[in-house]
Chain A
Amino acid sequence: MSARLRSRVIAVGVVLVASAASAQVQPKPLPRTSDGKPDFSGVWIATGAIRLMAGDAEADAIRKADQAAGRSLPAPEPPPYKPEYEKVRQEYLARRGIDDPMARCLISGVPRISARPLPFQIVQIPGLIVFLYEVHHAFRIIPTDGRPHPDDIEPSYLGDSIARWDADTLVVDVTGFNTKTWLAGVGTVHSEQLHVTERYTRDSYDTIRYDVTMEDPEVFTRPWHTHEYFRLRPNERIREYECIENNEDLLRIEKLLQNESVFRLQR
């Protein structure tokens, strides 16, 4: 190796070592709003949905980054349904998900709306946090100023949300749901007694840890827990998705329901 080449190799090596060291010792500080609370503002997407939205290469890179950062989630829990409701879920599964309310462009509930392969934007000011979901043009306006749920809640797809801070974790309490949504996956039905607690923790500049507890004494034997990471998408913006525009699936689904025996036998 010539002296010139050797000096170049050494220079490149020094740069690489220096950038690796600075990446390790200088994580980006967590942003905070003027009241000192963690600022969740930005465009986010569920890590599990990145493969669909951004392709395999980016999803694989993010998986590697998660492994390097030691980021992991508990093993998924099956929904703890009472036998009569587990039977209902199994019927929906046997029908291959054809009854999914989303196929009819109906708004997903909580927490399912957060898992869709479309991003959402969080806008936060002291006393208020707003979630703007690309899917369904849905939004949640959530007070964080300590007020209780209103006393005139009508059952709805997204329910009524209020939030409080538990140290640096935002805890959102959601109640007042209708029964027209699935919780997390095919056939995950619930009653109007559903009570959802969401915990959002910005555990790094790029990630929010999202822990959900679903309580519903009508359908569950105990609370159901799910977990996810949201990933910051600094170059992303919320776009338009007008689901009902040309939803030919409605016609196809009707045809399938009439013509395939697997759908005629049940429900």
Chain B
Amino acid sequence: MNTACGVALAVLVAVAGVSAHHSFAAEYDANKPLNVTGTVTNVEWTNPHIHFWIDAKGADGAVVHWRFEGYPPNMLVRQGWKKDVTLKPGDTITVSGWQARLEPALGAAREITFADGRKMTAGPPAGTGGQ
């Protein structure tokens, strides 16, 4: 194995072994990706995760009250977020992420796209919980 490959492998393994707080795979399903567009109704700026709610129209036209989990505030501010400014009630956003295993309207947010096209990282990538 050459040096470059060695570094790449070591980094890959290390990343897979890093958890922000809890095992992703325990609570969320990496095989159920989400892409939900709606209006933000509330933002909870707390540890160990922020949560935010959006109202989105489901396939049958009924409004679904989605709840998403994201990084904690200390991780988000390092990626350019600001409390009460970056994400606030009334914003129209699209959230990509993954669905929870048990609660159908709960998701782990990975990225938010705002109405003007800006994208912000909101949470970790899907993990297996195997490392």
Contact = CB atoms under 8 A, between A and B. Distances in A.
A93 B130 contact: yes
Contact of B10 (A75, A118, A245): A75
Nearest to B67: A248
A185 B129 contact: no
A239 B77 contact: yes
Contacts of A52: 15, 18, 20, 75, 124
Contact of B130 (A73, A97, A247): A97
A56 to B, nearest CB: 9
A256 B103 CA distance: 10
Interface residues of B, number: 44
Nearest to B72: A241
A96 B22 contact: no
Contacts of A49: 14-15, 18
Contacts of A244: 47-48
Contact of B102 (A134, A245, A252): A252
A248 B17 CA distance: 23
Residue of A115, A227, A252, A255 contacting most chain B CB atoms (<10 Å): A252
How many of chain A's residues touch chain B, expressed as a range?
Answer: 35 or more
A97 B14 contact: no
A73 B79 contact: no
A34 interface: no
Given A51-B15, A63-B7, A102 B21 contact: yes
A242 interface: yes
A227 B6 CA distance: 12
A259 B102 contact: yes
Interface in A229-252: 236, 239-249, 252
Contacts of A252: 27, 100, 102-103
A96 B129 contact: yes
Interface in A26-53: 46-49, 51-53
Interface string B4-41: 10111111011101111111011100000000000000
Contacts of B100: 252
B91 interface: no
A260 interface: yes
A186 interface: yes
A48 B100 CA distance: 26
18 contacts: A47-B14, A52-B20, A63-B11, A72-B3, A96-B23, A97-B129, A98-B26, A98-B129, A103-B21, A115-B17, A118-B74, A185-B17, A186-B129, A236-B78, A241-B74, A246-B44, A246-B46, A253-B26
